[in-house]
Every structure is written in C-alpha cells, then in structure tokens.
Structure 1
Amino acid sequence: MNRTRVFSAATLLALAATITSVPVTAQAAERSDGFRVVDGRLVDATGKDFVLRGVNHAHTWYADRTGQSLSDIKALGANSVRVVLSTGTRWTKNDAADVATVVSQCKVDRLVCVLEAHDTTGYGEQSDAASLSEAVDYWLEVASVLKGQEKYVIVNLGNEPHGNAGYSAWTQDTKAAIGRLRAAGFDHTLMVDAPNWGQDWSGTMRENAPAVFASDPDRNTVFSIHMYGVYDTAAEVEEYLGSFVDRGLPIVVGEFGYDHSDGNPDEDAIMATARRLDLGYLGWSWSGNGGGVEYLDLATGFDADRLSAWGERLFNGPDGIRQTSQEAGVYRRGCSITYRLDDWGTGFNADITVRNTGEQALKGWKLDFSLPAGTTVNSAWNASVDQTGRQVRATSESWTESVPVGGAVSFGINVAGAGAVPGSFSLDGVPCAKG
C-alpha cells in the first residue's frame, strides 16, 4: 500500500469484452516440494488447497513489534501474514538475518509468510522507487535464508511495482524478474502485484496474465490485485476476480481496506466473492498506518484487545478470517501414542510415548485422554498432569516440550485403581493414532 494515490477513471466492465476467457492449464511445479499452483489453485506441500486468510504487517517500520504482532494475528484466526520488507532503496534494508528471524517467527506461530519487497511501490511515478530488477537483486541477497523454506514462504516480488506512469512495462519487467529468480534456483511460489498502484485499472495485468504465467518455467506464479477505490461495486469485484478464475489463473486479493482516500471499496463484496470463489485475501493492515490512512489500522496501537471497526469486520464479521480461515497443512499436527501398562490389580503405572508424525516440530504440547472410572492419578513424571473425573490432561515440562518431526518423548503416571488402555488420545485437540 502507498499512502497517497491518484487513480484514472477505469471502466473494467468494458475492458472485459476485449479479453477472451481461454482456460490456462496450470500444472504443478516439478522442482518444488512447497507451495505450488495446480490447475489454477494454490496448494500447499501436503497437496491440499490453501486459501490465504490473513493481514499485512509493516515489519520494516515496526520490526520491534513483529514477534507479538504475529502471535496476535494468529490468535485472531489468520493462517497467513504478508510481511513488508525493504530492499534498502527507500528504507532501511531488512538483511538476511532479519528475514530469517521473520520466517522463524511465522513458523512458530504457524503462519504462512508472504514476504514482499516494498520499495518498488509506484515505480515510474515515485522517483525514489526501486525497479523490479532491483527487487530481484534483493531477493538474491537473502536467498540463503529463503531456499529450503518453500513449504512456509511465498515470495511477493515487489509491492505495487508500477504507478500510473510507465505501467505498460509491467509485463516484460515481471517476466524478467520471474526468469531471473528461477534461474537462480528459487523454487518458491512467486506472487506478482498488479501495476497502477496495485489496482490494475488499466487491465494490464489482467490482459497479460496468461503470458506472464506461461513465462514461468515452474508454472508457479500467483497474481495479486489490491482492491481499494477502483473496486467500489460488487460488479467490479466479481467481474475482475471471475475473469482470472474463468481462465484457470491463480489470483488473490493481496491488499484491501474498508475505505480509502481514492474511494470507498466494497469490502463486503470483496470478502463474499473471495469466499464464494475460494480465493485468498490479506487485509491492510495490522497497525501503524500514517499519512492520513490511520483508519486502516486493524488493531489500535498494535493492541489485539482494541480492534478497530475495520479489524472487527475483517476478523469477526461475515466471510471474515475467523469464519473462513484454515491452517496450512504443513502446520497441522500429527501424532501417535504408545501406552504401556504395568498393572498389579489395585493400581498401575503407565509409560506413555508421544510420537510427532506431523509436519512441524512441537514446542509445548497437551495430551488429553480418559482413565477408567474410579481411578486416581497419584503422581507423574516428565509431564504435569491434571485430572477432572475420568478426564486427564498431561502438559509438557520444559525438558519434554520440544519434539522434532519424527521424534518422540515419554512420560509416566502412577494411578490407583484398575488399569486399562484409553480408547482415544488427542494432542492439542488433534486425534492421535495408537501405536
């Protein structure tokens, strides 16, 4: 997002008549085991559809707020966050170490990280803006901390990479940027923003999206439209997004708000249409807006307990994040439990092994199960145990909280009463197989 925008009048419905709806076959990226595009849909590393439901966070200006902000965004139900980074052209560079920290924080909070280079905003119209080529230079600088993170990270080449001047260069510039990153070994899903300050009122991205997609040797590019004042009616929202879906092209709403200085976007239509078409969206923005658009803060003063009206709408309203968000498959926990009894009739010990069969390392866990009626837990080791009636919850201790993928941890309980193997177990609410 840019704090000041001037837009030409556009007639998107008239433009539709000039664009043929020829389906595009979007095959899976062969080299990547992370996110990829399949038949016009974004799928995660588990092969399941993934629909972005998240917000933007202005990390480059508020790096000290990022850790808590990501945790708060996750707690409100988001499955993803688009993180503002700087290449160093306009603002202080976020170097490789900082980017690695951001990715790590996203993974701790089980959020998909969409990383974007913000310095390209309004190129051709803003004299100090970076080109897409310069943005690629930046991604190559931080490549060492991004390669291997394809399951968790989507690379957004550059924010709103052309303003309202020189936007005809968008197609070639975008093709060139994709080509350079692929040649350099980037296997990530790449996200490309539209020109015209992200709003594509000229139809440049819309008309040339098939050619840009085809230029990617991995066929693993997603298009991003920013919906502000140009999209002030349901008809415009539905027609634009539908034109991509009809052609089998992957599209997300990378930014949108409930109001803006350039006009009043129809946020209800944006969210409803995205839900109906199973398309992703990322609201602008968590907190810290300035330059006259402070009203776009979702949380007042970075305080998750003080959501603005916009924040309440996005997170808790119809078609909102809480109602529609699903966590990425790579973060879903998997587990198996081995339960060994040493039973002497009037009591027993149980040695319980928790094995992590999921896609993500565990950092702290809670295991729930039921004991036979009339039994009482006397003591436990390597876990803290609470009992309410037959229900037992074992919580990891500091020395048993970390369980790597494929790893296991054991704890035990001493119980008064007749022993039996519980019928079921759940780890942090996820049912576990019995080993």
Structure 2
Amino acid sequence: MRTFESFNFQPFILEAIKDKGFTEPTEVQEKLIPLIKKGKNVIGQSQTGSGKTHTFLLPLMDKIDGTKDEVQVLITAPSRELAAQIYQAASQIAEFSPTEIRVSNFVGGTDKQRQLDKLTSHQPHVVIGTPGRILDMMNEQALKVHTAQYFVVDEADMTLDMGFLHEVDQIAGRLPKHLQMLVFSATIPEKLRPFLLKYMENPVMEEIKSKAVISDTIENWLISTKGKDRNRLIYQLLTVGHPYLAIVFANTKQHVDEISGYLKAQGLKVAKIHGDISPRERKRVMRQVQNLEYQYVVATDLAARGIDIEGVSHVINAEIPQDLDFFIHRVGRTGRNGMSGTAITLYSPSDENSVNLIENLGVTFQPKEIKNDEIVDTYDRNRRKKREKSKDELDPTLIGLVKKSKKKIKPGYKKKIDRAISESNKQKRRQTRRQEERGARKNKKRSNS
C-alpha cells in the first residue's frame, strides 16, 4: 500500500492532507495520481465516494505556479452542489500554500456582474464551475482560459444526462491543443465516447471496480408497501427509526413534493431538493442541512450524484429507481468513512424483478416490517420458493400436464389431469410399499438362517 508521502507532493499538499485526516490513499488515488503526475491524459471510471475529487485535485494543485497571474486548472461539474463541493476541497488545499493560489467558483444563480468585476483585476489560478456559467464568462471575454494547462471534466456521464455536454464541448474547443485532460465518470455511455475521442490523445483508461457494491457497514432493509400507504410508511420509518440525518429519495420532482408535503403536514421539518427549486433556495437549504437545522431531506437522484451531505445515518428509497445505478448512488450516501448506516427500500409486488436484479449485484436485503410502532424482522419474500415441496415429485411425462392445469382449460380436461396426477402418485406409493415389504422379507430370511 502506497502512502501520500510516496507521491512526492510539496510539503503544503501533505499538510492539507493531514488536516483533512486522510491516512492512506484510496484505490483510485493509488492508481491514478502517479499517472496524473506524469502528465498522462486519464479517463477514470469509479463510483461515488471513491475519493476521486482529491485524485485530481492533489496532483494538479501540486503543479500550480502561484507567481503567475493566469488560469492554470479548469474543472467543470454538472451541478452547482458538486461544483461547490470541489471548490471547498480545493480552497482547503490552497490555504496551506506558501504562495497565494486563487480558486474561483463560477455557477449559475450567483452574482454574475460581481464575478466579471473581479476578473478585471486578476485571473484565478483554479477555475471550478458549471459548464454554462464558465462558458458565459468566456464569451464575455472576462475569463481567459487560453493559458490553462489542465482540464478536468468531473461526473462526465451526469454531464451528458443533464444536457451540458454541448457546453463542455465548446469550452474544450477553446482550450490549448496541448494540455492534460482528465475525465472522471461512474459509467462511460456510448454517447460520451465521440467527445472523448475528439479531445483526448492516447488516454489511459482505468476502471476502479468496487470491492463491494455497497459498504459492508450499511444494513439494507426491504419493506413491502402492499396494503399500506407509502407516505404514512415513510413517516413511521422516520419517527420510529430515530435517524440522526435521513435522506428520502424519490424518482420524480412530483413525488418529492408529495412526500415532503405529507411529512410537513405531520409536523416534521423537512428540506426539499430537486431541479425546480431556485438556485438561491437550494443553496440556502443545503447550508441549513449541513448545519443540522434539518433532520430530514427529501430529494431526487440529482442529490444522489451532486450533493455530499455528511453524517447521513439513514437513506430511504421511497421507490426503486428505474436506473439501478442510482440505487447504488443513493445507498452510498450513508455508511461513509467506516460509519454504520441503514438503507431502507420500499417495494411493491410489481418491483419483484428490480429487487432480484439488485440482489444479483451482490446486495443482501433484510426483510423488515413495522409492527406495534417497532421495526421488526419479517418473512423472506422468497420463502415459498425456498420451502421444500411437500408434494410428491411428478414423473417427467406429467410435468407438462401440471403446467397445463395452471392455465385456463376446459373443466372436463382439468379433471382428467387431476386424475392422472393422482393415479401416478398412487402407483408411486404402491411401488414404495412393495419395495419396503420385499426388504422386510429379505431381512427376516437372513435373521432365520
């Protein structure tokens, strides 16, 4: 196992690492930091929570020349929240630099004129932001990116999904031809490949596969909604389970509104996060969540990929996401940094196939239910399949008849099938008795001889 000292970082980088409490590199850091330090173009494929933000920040911040008044590093992120997270991490490292390293965050929903005014006096060394606002600043001739030596596209698949790849393409087209480009993504969709081929020369592609799909510090509970009110069930889980901080995930903005509205009506103080919330409101709500002013957050999947909320003890999947990758991202919000966590998934009978697919990923569910205001163990939903059959096994020739008997057929024909099955079982029992009687006679003869 490597240490951070083995990367030969400047002393201030090691001080910043120590201040963060990092003791040893994660797998993605161990594999990719040496490549980035060598100047290689890199495509890093790794899951959320793998430590990839510091994978690119540490070696790039190590290369910055603070004496130059020019942009040296450009980083795009698909959401304001993710950009803010990267900005905070970069600012923390910059605090330890002996020479000033200027880090700027350009995102929508902030004071554009103020940002333009600041750029007239000096350029930031590190530019972080959403593609739209960065491109806007470039079009205003205020942000001078022609000097950039390093370009990072973080969460590239999410950038594609949210429709920002066109803006990233325009930004990349105005950057110097010879620069180091780093792309990080949980997945590499086909639609992303033309962009990568267009701008990346001989990239090194590293896929960091999780040793476990979900941290072993997380308990995965599965709760059936059959015959129950889903919103009421969520309310019970939040009040009976006593979470420190819980995120409830829903698939649509409408469902987020519905769930949060119900919980508020029950007297709970709930934060709501989805794409229709204004940027200023989202920023305010996120600050309040970080300050623990809210104990409950209801959000869409945008939050699963773009927001890093510390101290999440419980995640509740109000419904199973259509894209099962999002299940992993949602559950990964809890049980971080070795802490324990609980992920609760609500399912209906129509979700059976999705539950099976999640189990095929290596997730083990514990079946639970709420009984007398307590969360208790319940029956495995597959208990009937696992239970040994008490009926006699059928001859192969009758298996087809059994299958037919389960379909809609004429009553007379069904009686014939039942009689055939019954007769087959009688014959088997007679054969068994004969064998037992023969065995008994043989034993009697041996004992008399």
Task: With the length of structure 2 as denominator, give the TM-score of the two structures.
Answer: 0.25
**Normalized per residue, which structure has more helix?**
2
Structure with the bigger percentage of strand: 1
| Bigger Rg over Cα | 2
Q: What TM-score do the two structures reach when normalised by structure 1? A: 0.26
